[in-house]
Amino acid sequence: QEWEFSIEQVLKRFALGILVPEQYYEQVNQYVEERDLKGKVTYHRFNPKDIAHRIFQQHDDRELIHHIEIKTSPYKDWIANEIATQYDYRCVMDLDAMRQLDRAILKNGLIKNGLHHEKDDRPASKSRQHYVLGWDNKEKIALLKERLRHVKDRIKVAKEHWRQLENQ
């Protein structure tokens, strides 16, 4: 949990992607090509035969892959392989450790990828209601319900204020 915010920042785009099993790949390509989707879609071709299991030459507990749990599913090995190879960041505790690595993240969300550094401190990026990782979304739903209740309360107050102004 202590790395949740930073890992969310690194893996969010990947997590929002769609896995397309091999037997549907051509259909999905055709569908996407023929339509204006009015938004962005990212999808990954999934063929279990294509999983090139990563051979760990040196086990490093700081690797991002060791800071997450992947739910058991037919896609688990593919997801683990993608994260281990494409998102091979090290979770480090300070800038000195980060300087020594090509790809690293700090708990506060600073991400280093080669010469590129990024940190997103916008309130929306830190809000759990925008998180996408996890095995269920109960906490996210609760946050959204609370926000909805707050917005409804504000609307109610605004309507009452409007009525008062009309009466004046």
Mean pLDDT of 57-73: 86
Contact status, residue 42 vs residue 17, Cβ threshold 8 Å = yes
Stated pTM of the model: 0.77
Helices (H) and strands (E) in the chain, counts: 6, 6
Q: Which residues contact 25 (CB under 8 A, 6 or more apart)?
A: 45
Is the predicted pLDDT of residue 154 greater than 60, yes or no? yes
pLDDT tens string 71-127? 999 999 999 989 988 999 999 999 999 999 999 999 999 999 999 999 999 988 888
For residue 136, the model assigns a pLDDT of: 82
Q: What is the mean pLDDT of the chain?
A: 91
Measure the CA–CA gap between 93 and 138, rounded to whole angstroms: 30
- Indicate the pLDDT class of residue 50, thresholds 50, 70 and 90: confident
